[in-house]
Each structure stands twice: as structure tokens, then as C-alpha cells.
Amino acid sequence: MASAAPRQSDSHDAARPNGTTVTLVTGDQVTLHADQRISVTPGSDRDDMTFSRSKVGDHVYVIPGDARQLVATGHLDRRLFDVTTLVEFGYDDAHTDSVPLIVTGADGAGAPRLAGNSRPLPSIDGVALAAAKNGATWEALTDGVGVRTATRGVNRIWLDGKREAVLDRSAAQIGAPAAWEAGLTGEGVRVAVLDTGVDQTHPDLAGQEVAEQNFSASPDAVDNYGHGTHVASILAGTGAKAGGKYRGIASGADILDGKVLDDYGFGSDSEIIAGMEWAAAQDADIISMSLGGADTPGLDPMEQAVETLTAEHDVLFVIAAGNGFSNDEPVASPGSAPSALTVGAVDRDDSLAPFSLTGPTVGDGAVKPDLTAPGVEIVAALHSAGTIAPPVEDGYTALSGTSMATPHVAGVAAMIAQQHPDWTAQQLKAALAGSATPTDGLTAFQQGSGRVDVPRAMTASVVAEPSSVSLGVQTWPREDDQPVTRPVTYRNLGDADVTLALTLEATDPNGDPTDAFSLSVDQLTVPAGGTASVEVTGDPRTGPADGAYSGTIVATAGDSVTRTPVGISREEESYDLTVTFRDDPAVAADAYVVSAMGLDEFSIIDGFSEDGTVTMRLPKGRYLMEYLSFTNDNSNSTQLIQPGLLLDRNQAFEVDLASASPVDVTPPGGAELGIAEIAYQVDNDGQAFGSGFLIFGDELDGVRFGQLGDPLPELAFDAWVHTGWQDAQNELYSLAWFLDRYPTDFTKVVGPDDVATLRVDIGPSAQAPSGSLFRSPQPASGSLWTAALGQDVSLPGVSTLHVTTEDIRWATSLWIFGETDLVASYDGSPLPYDSGRTYDQRINHPVFGPGLPAGDYQWAYRGADEISVDLPLFTDGAGNAGFTPTESGSTKLYLGDELVGETPLAGRGFFSVPAQAGDYRLTTEATRSADYGLSTSVGAEWTFRSSHVDGEEPLPLNVVRFQPKLDADGSAPAGRAALVPVRMQNELGALEYPKALTVDVSYDEGKTWRKAAVLVRQVAVLEHPAGASSVSLRASATDQDGNTVTQTVIRAYTLK
């Protein structure tokens, strides 16, 4: 191309900046803002790459064209392109210079060419890699230059994801004192605690630790968080600091301290797996893991490691079930591993804790957790440097979670292992699970066999193998379902024959009794030292509902009771969808993808084929469907969308690729294409879903688009075409149209009279000589997740933009980058323009201070009984919402004189408040680097009255906007008088005449202040001293309803 075309895109939801840049494993860069806006910059030698972007729920995905096939086939973890998750994990460019991967297959044989910063993970036949963000690892792990395939020997490339850390009365609750009286303390048993580290200097843990190793990203093995110390003391603490009051369950056990979580409680999958392998190699008898993350169908790397190490080392993994917002969420990984002894949490009354995750497991419908233990308000040791929670007394804190339940069970396992050193790990698991005490009213999928019971575990002489029976998932429809039968084998560990009376009680998904299970016999004799089996059959065909059926086989012999949970699930109503692609004779296609985005459940399910036929099984429901074809060299792609498919029966149909066509746009004056976005959005009862293509390069005809059918009646559908061009004079053209259908046979010829011209005066930056100026289109009313196109601009300078005007609004944004990170962003509100007219705009000019720009974003609001604030404290003089990084900040909310809550964030906070009316005071402060030169410190305080509301309402906040006349460099003359307009802006962005207004001025950066005269409550009269170098301003205003604001800007502008 003859000129530098725009090479960036930015998608726009509302108006919330704060950009975080993430480099994908492919080398492409994506910048994500808090409102889910994104910008995309292709990696080196990838200027012609296309990208598909989608928004499902709260997650934003950006997938390069050459990765689509590997994602669709499951060889490449979709999370590698889930920008939201990458930022949440801290894998953005500000926090790491590499992309952490786990590569599985033939002991990582496909990755020997990579840099030496790798870690073998033999338990999963893989390696952990720190992939360079320059795309070199992507080149090494994949073959091809268009649509990639995995290098020979590579089975799957995973994101090395993050997991997080998920006793005075509790020991007695489970009956531990009975074991202590019998001399059982876990002595001689090696228990690994894989956590945030263990403070061996704490009196309760002194002398307990026999080995330690740091696998985390933290520099040492010290527990600077406190979670691991708390867990370890529940398991094996002596209680010495409190005279034995907080004695752990197995105080004689030896602790292997594996620090796999960092000083904030997070660890990568590979770090945790490495710790698991180390603990097994250290001859651990039991490995306690109070950690977890979201489970997925099939075995993920951590679950695979549990299974392999259990089999190879005969070690028992005791793992937390995980914590969630409700009991409806499935058990976390790796607690979902079949061999793990998975632990849920109960309170002091043995009631299920509201956060304890439950079964069935994802995909296979297995029974989990295996049992429960106390996990609510557990008092145990606190590291002196721990930050996890305040102490309840010197050296101790109270925590809740399945993290606290897990070491209770690990401690019991240690005592039983001491009692029976010849038992295998799975026998230990079976004895603990089978001897548990159930809580009435809880199902097997909620509690397993019940709460761990030490006295019963000590006397257990009959164990069941397996310790729970999972009969799988029966598919819809019911007509061809068949009963499922599995054996349960009882092993008699005693020296006398035992006759077991067998009963089975079960409930259906509604909690009612069911006869969905049966036993082959109701009595069984198990010979001494031998085994005997019974068959259990699950047959839920006659049950009233789809979902999980569960029960417990109870085997009784005198006082001996062995409990074995059993479960089977009926698949929710689901159907087969078969799609056959009919090729366009004029356009080649090598591969095909069907993508179903669930409108009822936020999910993405892909189907892939090379022969043109894709069959998928999906739950009944509504879906957004996309039908994609592409060539191996990525030169041609087709995207047909179906904006709403109701799947309520098996369906098979044909998709005609010839019905699609490229968009055709001709700009004025021979401008050249730099980037285009063709996309759509569906609104489903306030929840937006969207997808589309970003096309980089100088041609539009490489991608074809089309739509099948009309949207479902209840869905609001919008589509758009947005193209960015640049002419020989470096003037930018943003040409966009909003449509009611996805574009097919779309042709537009744009002339000079069809556009408005914008002259944007961009102020200077002390930190960067250039920035990126973006234009974001929005429809005449409403807000869509559109993309904006960017142009590199010099600071200061004037840029000329031309935009289409028909039923459209445009917002101007400026992003200023330092060497690596965003140092400032300014976002204007969307405005309409008229063709043939020229408009002047300003951006990045002082005074920078608190603002409440009009637009679609609510800067401060109350929803029911929660107050949320997210204030642009560095809004520029023209009213463009401004955000910059800060060196320090705080936001506090008071009700009367009582502090409701505070955050260490500038202008941001979320607070729960009482329903009744009250007088509130909100304060915020922000200090940024002196390198900014202006507005280095900003503060504000508001008072207002608020009470419960239904829905959401903006808070009655105001800000004061200072509007001095300044030179281009943001300065005013010293030694002269100046009239400074001072305007009050309300919560809706409108200017309002204040009831009262005062202004103070400082010429020594806030050390001393003097009152300024104020004319008609709108203009401050200042006398700039001859020797002063800067002006700081403070104003207090009261609106007509009595709400007040006081705000301060240090170094509002300079004097010369």
C-alpha cells in the first residue's frame, strides 16, 4: 500500500476504558477494556490475517483465522483466545512476557525445538512451556501457513490455567478425640500439603515439616498469604500456641510442604502438577489439595495427573470439591478426578455449606463429592505475615471453605493409614467414604456418603469397591434407554465371615423417593479376608423428570455400616443437529465448522468436518448458529449466520455456501482499505451475544457473508458493515452502515458529499509522541458492541476524519501508549453529524479532572441495595471520559460517620448498603506519576441521600468542570488576571446552575490556598502571580436538592 493504512480495531460496548493488552499465542495483540472493548493488532508478518470475534456472556473471544480449525477440533484450548480469561489469569503483557502452555502427547515429543524454559510433566505425557509472545512458539507447535494443524507428536495444546485456594469444635464434630485416645495421631505417615506454603515457624507446626519445595511463581517457599499454614494446622497442627485448643486432626503426621500457589493464592496447572509429581516422588502417603478450578468434560491435565500418580505411586489424593456461589455448581477440577477422595463442606450442624460444590460431574455425570467435613468458620493457625484474614486471636484466624474441610479428611486418612499401614490408597478412600455419617435430606450428589466419621472409620472392617457407583448419563429420548448394571464388591478386612444386610434408598431429581435403583440380592456373606459382590441396577425410565437420580446402598452387619453412593443421570432433552455444506463452485473450501452459541445457557459448542457434514448433539434450546468454511491457506472464508435456531427435535439440513457474497464498498478519492468489520449482535432479554469478522489488508473479497432465516421473534437483531480507509493525505475514512440483516449482495459507493468531516485537535502528552485515534460507530439510538478503527497520530496535532452520517452516531477515542502499556485513554460520547459539514473537536487538552460525560454508561448508580461507582477522574477539558494508571488511589463510602466500605482503587467501588434512607458521603483520591505534568493529584467528596430502589438509578452526584482559556501546551500567562469558567455537571452529563459555588486556588501545588472571587456562580476570577509555575484548583458546589461536591485538582494547568 502506498500509505500507512489503519492497522488496529477497537470494539465498543459502552464507555469504560482502562486497557489491558494481551498478546495471543499466535503473536497477535488484543487490548481489552473493562467494558469489553477490544483492539486487535496483527502479529509480525500477519498483516492480512482475518479474525473472528465473539461475545458470549461476559467473555470475549478473538480467534485468528489460522487457529480456527485447531480450536474446532479440540487440539487447541479455546481459552487461549478467551481474552477475558487471559486478563483474569494475569496473562496480559503487563504481567508476563510469555503465554503459559501445557503441551501433551508422546511426552511432549512435539516440543523439543522450543526454548529451554520448559518443565517436563511425565504424569500427563506432556511439558509446560513459556511460549514466546512473538509467535515463534506458535510456528514451532503448528504446521502450515494458513489454517494450522498440530505438529506431529502434539496431541493437545492447553492454556496453563490458574487455580486458586478454595478447629476447636470441628475435631470433636468428626470424632477425632476417639482416635487420639487410641494413640492415633498420623505418626509415621507422610502427608503433602500442596498450597501457598507452610509456616514451619508457627508454634503449632514447629517440627512437623520434613521437606519443602517451591513450584509457584513466588520467589520463595514462605507462606506470605496464609492459606497453606491454615490448612496444614487443621491437618497436623499441635495447637501448642493456644495450649492445645486448636489441635489439628493428625498432629503426629509428617508434612511435605509443596508451595504450588503464589503469595496471592493462585497457581498455574503446570506448577500444581509439578508439585503433585514431587510429592509422589517424596513417598507421600496422602496428598492434600485445597484448590481447584472450573471442570470441563473429559480429563484435563490435572485430573489426568491425579489418575496417573494414584496408579503409579499408590498415593491418596484428598481434594477440595470447590467453592461457588451456590450448591448448583458442579464439583471443581481436580476434585472431579475419579480416583480423588473429594471433600465437600458442612457447618457445625452437618448442614451443607452454601458454597460447597456438588455433583454430578461435568460430562460423565459421576457421583461427587465422596464425603463432607467441617468447613465453616474453622479456627486454625495464621502465619504472622499472612494477608488472608484478620486474626481472631493471636496466631489464629477463622476461614470457611471446602479448603478447610479437605485437611480434616486428609488428617483422618493419616490416622487410619497409621492404624492400617498395609492398606492401599483406594482402600483408605473406601474406608473413609463408606464409614461416613449422612445428613438427612441431602442427596449423594451433595454429600457423597456423608460427613467423615473417625470412630466408624477406625472400626471399618468391610469396604466397598468402588466406593461410589456412577452409572453414567442416559441420553434423550427415553424410548431406547436400557437399565445399567454395575457390580459392587465388598472386601472383608477382618478375620471372621460377615453377613451384610443390603438396603437402598434413593431420590429423583425432585427430591422424592424413587425406585430407579435395585439390588440383585438383599443379603450377602463376605468371607474373612475375601470378597463378595452384589449388582446394582439403575433404571430411571419411569422417573418423573430429567436430571440426577441418586441413592445409597447401605450394608449393615451389627454395628458396622458401609455406605456406597450410587447415581445415574437422565440427559436433559437433547437432539442431533446434522448440517451438510453445499460448496460454492466458484470458491474453494477445505474445512467446515458449525458453531452453536447457547442463548439459554452461555456456551459455545463447535463441530468440525473436512468432508462437509457436521453432526452435533445439543440440549433443547435456542441457539445462534454460525456456519463457516475456509481454505487451508486462509485465503477464502465464508460465514453464514442463523440468528436464532430453536432446537426442539432432531434436525438435518443443507447450508448453501453459494448464497453468501463479499461486501463491496467504494470510498471517496481513491482511499485504500486498512481494516473492516462485518458483525452482528443479538439481544436476548438484555443479554448481548455477538460475533463477526475483522479483516486486515487491502481487499474485502476474501470473506463472504450471508444470513439464513429470520431471527426468533423474541430476539432483537442488528448487523453492521464498518470499513476503515486512508488516502494519500493520511486522512481517515470511517464508512459504516447498520442493517437489519447480515449483509448479502451488499454494495455501497460513497462520494465526498456523503460524509461529514471532523477536524480533531489532539493535545500533547508528556509521555508519548504519538497515540491511536479511534472512531466508533453507534446506531442513532441504543448501543451495540461495534468495532472502531484506529489511526496512528502525532501528539500534538490535528487529524482529519470523514464519516458516514445516515442513522448513525460516532464516538472519538484516543489511546496513548507508553513503551508497553496504555498510559491514558479518552472516550467521547457518540454524536450524530450531517453530510457536507465540517466539525471541530478537541481531545487530550486540560483541565483533567472528575467528569460525568453523557452517554450510555452509568458512572455511579444504585441498584436495589448496592452502590456502584466507576468515575472517570481524568476527564479532559472537552468532556471526553479520561482514565490513566495511578500510583495510589482510594474510594470510600460512609453512611453518616460510619464507614460502609473502601477500595484501593481510584474512583471505583462496589458497596452493599442498607435499604432504608440515609445520608451518604463518598470520597475518592487518585495520584498519578509526575511524568504526566498536569493533574498529578485529584480528589473529590460528595454528599447525597439515598434509599432502596427497584432496578437501577443514577446517584445524584455532580462534578465541577474548570474551563480556562489555555495555550496549546496547556498553559496560561503568569502575572495576569484570568477569568475561569466553572460549570457544574450533573449525573446525566448535563450542565446545571448550582445553588452555591466556591472556588479556592493554590500556586504551590496545594500547600496553601486562597479564596477566589466567583461571578454569578459560573466564573472564577484568578490573579496569577508572576513567579508561579502552576495553578491548582479546589471547588465546592451545592445543587438545588442539597447534594454537595468538593473536588481538588493539583496542577490543573501551568503558568509561563
Residues 955-1003 pLDDT 10s: 999 999 999 999 988 999 999 999 999 999 999 889 999 999 999 999 9
280 within 8 A of 148, measured Cβ to Cβ: no
535 within 8 A of 504, measured Cβ to Cβ: no
Q: Is residue 777 part of a domain?
A: no
Q: Which residues pair with 653 in a beta bridge?
A: 579
Q: Quick one: pLDDT band at residue 55, thresholds 50, 70, 90?
A: confident
Catalytic residue among 12, 33, 75, 227: 227
Q: Is the pLDDT of residue 138 over 50?
A: yes
432 within 8 A of 420, measured Cβ to Cβ: no
Percent of the chain at pLDDT exceeding 70: 95
Grid cell, residue 798, equals 490535528
Average pLDDT of the segment spanning 279-300: 92
Q: Which domain holds residue 919?
A: 860-1055
Q: Is the pLDDT of residue 203 over 90?
A: yes
Q: Is the pLDDT of residue 151 over 60?
A: no
Q: Which helix (H) or strand (E) holds 275?
A: helix 269-281
Q: Quick one: pLDDT band at residue 14, thresholds 50, 70, 90?
A: very low
Domain shared by 905 and 1029, yes or no: yes
SS3 of 782-804: CCCCEEEEEEEEECCEEEEEEEE
Q: Which residue has the higher pLDDT, 1042 or 155?
A: 1042
Query: Among all chains, which residue has been given the C-alpha cell 436464532?
Result: 644
80 within 8 A of 58, measured Cβ to Cβ: no
Q: Is residue 711 part of a domain?
A: no
Domain shared by 929 and 958, yes or no: yes
- Min mean pLDDT across 39-53, 897-911, 918-932 is at 39-53
Average pLDDT of the segment spanning 317-337: 89
Query: Among all chains, which residue has been given the C-alpha cell 508434612?
Result: 255
pLDDT at 1012: 97
Q: Is residue 851 part of a domain?
A: no
Domain shared by 455 and 543, yes or no: no
Query: Among all chains, which residue has been given the C-alpha cell 501433551?
Result: 104
Domain shared by 288 and 375, yes or no: yes
Q: Domain containing 352 — which CATH number?
A: 3.40.50.200
Domain shared by 414 and 510, yes or no: no
pLDDT at 11: 40
> Which 3 state secondary structure label does DSSP give 574?
strand
Catalytic residue among 170, 233, 268, 403: 403
> Across all residues in the chain, what is the average pLDDT?
89
> Per the structure, how many domains does the chain have?
3
Query: Which of 548, 570, 592 corresponds to the end of one domain?
Result: 570
Q: Is residue 41 part of a domain?
A: no
Q: Quick one: pLDDT band at residue 206, thresholds 50, 70, 90?
A: very high
Q: Quick one: pLDDT band at residue 818, thresholds 50, 70, 90?
A: confident
Average pLDDT of the segment spanning 141-164: 67
pLDDT at 167: 52
User: How many other C-beta atoms are found inside a 10 Å radius of the C-beta of residue 537?
Assistant: 16
Active site residue 195: yes
Grid cell, residue 952, equals 437501577
pLDDT at 231: 95
Query: Among all chains, which residue has been given the C-alpha cell 455400616?
Result: 561
Active site residue 595: no
> Which 3 state secondary structure label does DSSP give 182?
coil
Domain shared by 300 and 202, yes or no: yes
Could you give the C-alpha distances from 944 to 917, 998, 1047, in angstroms and in order? Answer: 11, 18, 15
Average pLDDT of the segment spanning 25-34: 83
Phi-psi domain of 585 (left: phi exceeds 0; alpha: psi -120 through 50; beta: other): alpha
Q: Is the pLDDT of residue 4 over 80?
A: no
83 within 8 A of 38, measured Cβ to Cβ: yes
- Min mean pLDDT across 130-139, 282-291, 771-780 is at 130-139
Average pLDDT of the segment spanning 270-289: 96
Q: Using alpha carbons, select from 585, 662, 649 the residue that is nearest to residue 618.
A: 649
- Min mean pLDDT across 65-74, 268-277, 752-761 is at 65-74
The CA distance from 928 to 666, in Å, is: 45
Q: Quick one: pLDDT band at residue 146, thresholds 50, 70, 90?
A: very low
970 within 8 A of 763, measured Cβ to Cβ: yes
Average pLDDT of the segment spanning 165-172: 66
Q: Is residue 710 part of a domain?
A: no
Q: Which residue has the higher pLDDT, 789 or 289?
A: 289
Grid cell, residue 890, equals 482510594
The CA distance from 701 to 881, in Å, is: 37
675 within 8 A of 6, measured Cβ to Cβ: yes
The amino acid occupying position 894 is Y
Domain shared by 419 and 453, yes or no: yes
Domain shared by 924 and 1045, yes or no: yes
How many residues in total does the chain contain?
1056
pLDDT one-digit tens code per residue, 333-383: 999 999 999 999 999 889 999 889 998 998 888 999 999 999 988 999 988
Query: Which of 427, 442, 467 corresponds to the end of one domain?
Result: 467
Q: Quick one: pLDDT band at residue 407, thresholds 50, 70, 90?
A: very high
Could you give the C-alpha distances from 841 to 174, 721, 759, 762, 787, in angstroms and in order? Answer: 71, 25, 6, 9, 21
Catalytic residue among 10, 66, 92, 195: 195
> Which 3 state secondary structure label does DSSP give 418?
helix
Could you give the C-alpha distances from 1017 to 849, 959, 1001, 1042, in angstroms and in order? Answer: 19, 14, 16, 16
Q: Using alpha carbons, select from 339, 426, 291 the residue that is nearest to residue 123.
A: 339
Q: Is residue 1036 part of a domain?
A: yes
Domain shared by 451 and 498, yes or no: no
Q: Is residue 806 part of a domain?
A: no
Q: Quick one: pLDDT band at residue 459, thresholds 50, 70, 90?
A: very high
Q: What is the CA radius of gyration of the chain?
A: 32
User: How many other C-beta atoms are found inside a 10 Å radius of the C-beta of residue 495?
Assistant: 8
Grid cell, residue 356, equals 460447597
642 within 8 A of 625, measured Cβ to Cβ: yes
- Min mean pLDDT across 206-215, 384-393, 560-569, 696-705 is at 384-393
Grid cell, residue 4, equals 500507512
Diameter of the chain measured on Cα atoms: 106
- Min mean pLDDT across 235-239, 725-729, 935-939 is at 725-729
pLDDT at 80: 94
Phi-psi domain of 21 (left: phi exceeds 0; alpha: psi -120 through 50; beta: other): beta
pLDDT one-digit tens code per residue, 621-653: 999 999 999 887 778 899 999 998 999 999 999
Alpha helices in 182-236 (DSSP H): 227-236
Domain shared by 480 and 341, yes or no: no
Q: Which residue has the higher pLDDT, 391 or 490?
A: 490
pLDDT one-digit tens code per residue, 1010-1032: 999 999 999 999 999 999 999 99
Average pLDDT of the segment spanning 871-892: 95
Domain shared by 186 and 320, yes or no: yes
Q: Using alpha carbons, select from 37, 52, 11 the residue that is nearest to residue 692.
A: 52
Domain shared by 241 and 384, yes or no: yes
> Which 3 state secondary structure label does DSSP give 856?
coil
Q: Using alpha carbons, select from 967, 1049, 1047, 979 the residue that is nearest to residue 1014.
A: 979
Q: Is the pLDDT of residue 107 over 60?
A: no
Q: Is residue 383 part of a domain?
A: yes
> Which 3 state secondary structure label does DSSP give 504?
strand
pLDDT at 1031: 98
The CA distance from 398 to 379, in Å, is: 4
Residue 483's contacts (CB-CB under 8 Å, 6 or more residues apart) are 537, 538, 539, 541
Query: Which of 432, 467, 502 corresponds to the end of one domain?
Result: 467
Average pLDDT of the segment spanning 554-577: 93
Q: Domain containing 531 — which CATH number?
A: 2.60.40.2310
Query: Among all chains, which residue has been given the C-alpha cell 436430571?
Result: 547
Average pLDDT of the segment spanning 546-574: 93
Q: Quick one: pLDDT band at residue 529, thresholds 50, 70, 90?
A: very high
Rounded to a whole number of angstroms, the distance between the first and last alpha carbons of the chain is: 45
